[in-house]
Chains A and B, each alone.
Chain A
Amino acid sequence: MSLAMDPITVEVIGNHFEFVTQEMGITLVKSSYSTNIKERRDCSAVLLDAQGRTISLTAYTGGHLGSVLGLMEEVFKRYPLASIEPGDVFMANDAYSGGPTHLPDITVVAPFFHDGELVAFCATVGHHTEVGGGLGAAADIWGEGVRIPPIKIFSRGELREDVLQLILLNVRKPDERRGDLEAQFAGVRTGQRRLRELFSHYSRDQILGSAAVLFDQTEKRIRRSIALLPDGRYEFEDCMDDDGFDAQMIPIRCAVTIRGDEIELDFTGTGPQVKGGINVTFNALRATVYFALKSALAADVAPNAGLYRAIKIVAPPGCLVNCVEPAAVLNRSDAYSRVIDVILGALAPAAPDRVIAACKGATTGIAFHGWTGANNRYWSYLETIGGGFGARQGLDGVDGVQTGTSNTSNLPSEAMEMEYPLFVERYELIPDSGGAGTYRGGQGILRRYRVLADGTYFRTKGDRCKTRPWGLFGGAPGFAGRFILNPGTPGERELGSKEFNIPVKKGDVVEVWTPGSGGYGEVSKRDPAFVLRDVLAGQVSREGARRDYGVDIDEARLKQLAHDM
Chain B
Amino acid sequence: MPDTNEVGRAARYRLGIDVGGTFTDLCLFDEAQGTLRTYKVASTPDDFCHGIVDGVRALLAEARLPAAALGYLVHGTTVATNAMIQRSGGRVGLLTTAGFRDLLEIRRQSRPHDELYNLFFVKAPTPIPRHLRLEVPERILADGSIWLPLDEAATIRAIEELVALRVETIAICLLNSYVDARHEQRLVELVREHAPGVDVSASYQVLREFREFERLSTTVVNAWLQRPVGHYLQRLESRIAEERIKTAPFVMQGNGGIMSVEAAVRGPVNLLVSGPSAGLMGAIYTARAAGFDNLLTFDMGGTSTDVSLVQRGAPIVRTDNEVAGYPVRVPMLDIKFIGAGGGSVAWINEGGALKVGPRSTGAHPGPACYAQGGREATVTDANVTLGFLHPERLLGGRKAIDRTLACDAIMANVARPLGLDLSTAAHGIRTIVNTNMVGALKLVSVEQGYDPRDFALVAFGGAGPLHASAVARELGMRTVIVPESPGILCALGLLTVDRRFDIVRTAVMAIREATVTTINDIWNELDGEATRWLEGEGVPVECRGLVRIVDARYRGQNYELALPVSLGIWTDATLANIERHFHEEHERIYGFHSEKAAVQMVNFRTVAQGIMPKPSMARRAASNSTLRDAQIGVRSVSWEAERAPAATPVYARERLAPGHELIGPAIAEQMDTTIVIAPGEHARVDDYLNLVIDLSCDQPARGTRMGGA
Q: A15 interface residue, CB < 8 Å from B?
A: yes
> Which of B210, B355, B554 has most A Cβ within 10 Å?
B210
Quick check: A410 and B108 within 8 Å, CB to CB? yes
CB-CB nearest in chain A for B116:
A62
CB-CB nearest in chain A for B448:
A30
Q: A563 interface residue, CB < 8 Å from B?
A: yes
Q: Which residues of A contact B432 (CB under 8 A)?
A: 8, 11-12, 15
Quick check: A392 and B119 within 8 Å, CB to CB? yes
- How far, in whole Å, are A220 and B350 apart by their CA atoms in the complex? 8
Q: A326 interface residue, CB < 8 Å from B?
A: no
List CB contacts (< 8 Å) of B120-169 with chain A.
120-123, 129-131, 139, 141-142, 147, 164-166
Partner pick for A565 among B131, B141, B592, CB 8 A cutoff: B131
Quick check: A400 and B119 within 8 Å, CB to CB? no
Stretch at the interface among B98-106, B525-533, B624-632: B98-106
Beyond A31-B590, A31-B591, A299-B117, whether A11 also contacts B353 by CB under 8 A is: yes
Q: Which residues of A contact B119 (CB under 8 A)?
A: 295-296, 299, 344, 354-356, 392
Partner pick for B141 among A61, A218, A398, A423, CB 8 A cutoff: A423
Beyond A15-B435, A386-B106, A398-B121, whether A8 also contacts B428 by CB under 8 A is: yes
Q: A93 interface residue, CB < 8 Å from B?
A: no
Quick check: A412 and B176 within 8 Å, CB to CB? no
List CB contacts (< 8 Å) of B457-496 with chain A.
none
List CB contacts (< 8 Å) of A395-429 with chain B.
395, 398-402, 407-415, 417-418, 423-429
Q: B109 interface residue, CB < 8 Å from A?
A: yes
Hey, what's the 0/1 contact readout for A91-106 against B, CB within 8 Å counting as 1? Answer: 0000000000000000
- How far, in whole Å, are A356 and B557 apart by their CA atoms in the complex? 37
Quick check: A414 and B166 within 8 Å, CB to CB? no
Q: B431 interface residue, CB < 8 Å from A?
A: yes
Beyond A186-B591, A395-B120, whether A15 also contacts B436 by CB under 8 A is: yes
Quick check: A7 and B352 within 8 Å, CB to CB? yes
A39 CB, min distance to chain B CBs, angstroms: 5
Q: B36 interface residue, CB < 8 Å from A?
A: no
Quick check: A402 and B446 within 8 Å, CB to CB? no
Q: Which residues of A contact B139 (CB under 8 A)?
A: 425
B506 CB, min distance to chain A CBs, angstroms: 8
Hey, what's the 0/1 contact readout for A174-189 against B, CB within 8 Å counting as 1? Answer: 0110010011001000
Partner pick for B111 among A220, A296, A395, A407, CB 8 A cutoff: A407
Hey, what's the 0/1 contact readout for B91-102 against A, CB within 8 Å counting as 1? Answer: 000000011111
Beyond A295-B117, A295-B119, A417-B142, whether A8 also contacts B424 by CB under 8 A is: yes
Quick check: A400 and B508 within 8 Å, CB to CB? no
Quick check: B117 and A7 within 8 Å, CB to CB? no
Q: Which residues of B contact A41 (CB under 8 A)?
A: 113
What secondary structure prevails in chain B residues at the interface with A? loop
Beyond A26-B447, A423-B141, whether A565 also contacts B113 by CB under 8 A is: no
Beyond A400-B106, A423-B142, A428-B101, whether A413 also contacts B175 by CB under 8 A is: yes
- How far, in whole Å, are A176 and B354 apart by their CA atoms in the complex? 44
Q: Which residues of A contact B557 (CB under 8 A)?
A: 33, 35, 38
Partner pick for B349 among A221, A401, A429, CB 8 A cutoff: A221
> Which of A18, A295, A301, A412 has most B Cβ within 10 Å?
A412
The number of chain B residues touching the other chain, given as a range, is 35 or more
A362 CB, min distance to chain B CBs, angstroms: 15
Quick check: A26 and B118 within 8 Å, CB to CB? no
How many of chain A's residues have a CB under 8 angstroms from any CB in B? 86
Beyond A15-B436, A60-B113, A445-B109, whether A412 also contacts B212 by CB under 8 A is: yes
Q: B558 interface residue, CB < 8 Å from A?
A: yes
Quick check: B420 and A563 within 8 Å, CB to CB? no
Q: A321 interface residue, CB < 8 Å from B?
A: no
- How far, in whole Å, are A392 and B121 apart by their CA atoms in the complex? 10
Beyond A23-B443, A414-B211, whether A399 also contacts B122 by CB under 8 A is: no
Q: Which residues of A contact B431 (CB under 8 A)?
A: 8, 12
- How far, in whole Å, are A320 and B228 apart by their CA atoms in the complex? 57
CB-CB nearest in chain B for A36:
B558
List CB contacts (< 8 Å) of B404-442 with chain A.
418, 420, 424, 427-428, 431-432, 435-436, 438-439, 442
CB-CB nearest in chain B for A354:
B119
Q: Which residues of A contact B214 (CB under 8 A)?
A: 412
Quick check: B106 and A445 within 8 Å, CB to CB? yes
Quick check: B110 and A409 within 8 Å, CB to CB? yes
A449 CB, min distance to chain B CBs, angstroms: 11
List CB contacts (< 8 Å) of A262-297 with chain B.
291, 294-296
Beyond A395-B122, A448-B99, whether A417 also contacts B176 by CB under 8 A is: yes
CB-CB nearest in chain B for A385:
B109
A397 CB, min distance to chain B CBs, angstroms: 10
- How far, in whole Å, are A217 and B589 apart by their CA atoms in the complex? 38
CB-CB nearest in chain B for A564:
B166
List CB contacts (< 8 Å) of B490-516 with chain A.
508
CB-CB nearest in chain A for B445:
A23
Q: Which residues of A contact B558 (CB under 8 A)?
A: 35, 38-39, 411, 415
Q: Which residues of B contact A539 (CB under 8 A)?
A: 130
Quick check: B559 and A38 within 8 Å, CB to CB? yes
Q: Which residues of A contact B508 (CB under 8 A)?
A: 418
Q: Which residues of B contact A190 (CB under 8 A)?
A: 446
Q: A111 interface residue, CB < 8 Å from B?
A: no
Q: A538 interface residue, CB < 8 Å from B?
A: yes
Q: Which residues of B contact A60 (CB under 8 A)?
A: 113
List CB contacts (< 8 Å) of B176-212 with chain A.
176, 178, 210-212
* 11 CB-based A-B contacts, threshold 8 Å: A7-B428, A8-B428, A11-B435, A22-B443, A60-B113, A179-B594, A291-B117, A414-B178, A417-B141, A418-B142, A563-B164
Known: A217-B351, A344-B119, A395-B120. 8 other contacts (CB 8 A): A8-B431, A10-B353, A23-B442, A30-B447, A30-B449, A31-B592, A186-B591, A217-B349
